[in-house]
Amino acid sequence: MEIEMILISLGLTTLLAFLFLKQLLKRTTTTKLNQPPSPWRLPVIGNFHQLSPHIHRSLDSLSRRYGPLMLLHFGRVPVLVVSSADVAHDIMKTHDRIFANRPKSKAAEKLLKGQRDIAFSSYGEHWKQIKQCI
């Protein structure tokens, strides 16, 4: 019984060490893009550990430290957090077409005719034509 527990804990420790080293090596080998400031994150869960049950309060304290525009990672997904109305207005004014698009999904691609319906279609001429038909 004790040997099984030791093997399980050794396996979990090896897995966590591998994930940590993978992220550390990935971080040092990639070139840094011009990204907004971001708090330090953990390899698997990202910045979830920095959020409290009152998410609006924890985002407020993070925005006081890192500014009105910051990049958080929820797991492996990067999330741009904008906490200023002026910055949000500027972003939506200059990059409105990027934010109007929907994320690509393999499930929607297979099930819904290549994402050609109104719910999953990318913003553009095809989407405008579908919307006019409705």
User: Which pLDDT tens digit goes with each residue over 104-122?
Assistant: 778 777 777 777 777 777 7
Burial class (CB in 10 A: 0-12, 13-18, 19+), 82: middle
Can you name the residues that pair with 14 across neighbouring β-strands? none
If DSSP codes are grouped into helix, strand and coil, which group holds residue 91?
Answer: helix
Closest to 79 (Cα-Cα) out of 103, 113, 108, 107: 103
| φ, ψ for residue 42, nearest 5 deg | -90, 155
If DSSP codes are grouped into helix, strand and coil, which group holds residue 82?
Answer: strand
Q: Are 74 and 46 in contact (CB under 8 A)?
A: yes
Residue 30 confidence (pLDDT):
52
Residue with tokens 């005719």: 113
Residue 111 confidence (pLDDT):
76
- Retrieve residue 73's tokens: 């990672």
Residue 89's pLDDT band, with cuts at 50, 70 and 90, is very high
pLDDT at 99 over 80: no
- Retrieve residue 127's tokens: 């989407």
Residue 73 confidence (pLDDT):
92
Residue 81: count other Cβ atoms within 10 Å of its Cβ.
16
Closest to 55 (Cα-Cα) out of 79, 76, 19, 36: 79
Q: Are 70 and 63 in contact (CB under 8 A)?
A: yes
Pairwise pLDDT comparison (71 vs 116), residue with the higher score: 71
Tell me the percentage of the chain whose pLDDT exceeds 90: 20
pLDDT at 1 over 80: no
Pairwise pLDDT comparison (121 vs 1), residue with the higher score: 121
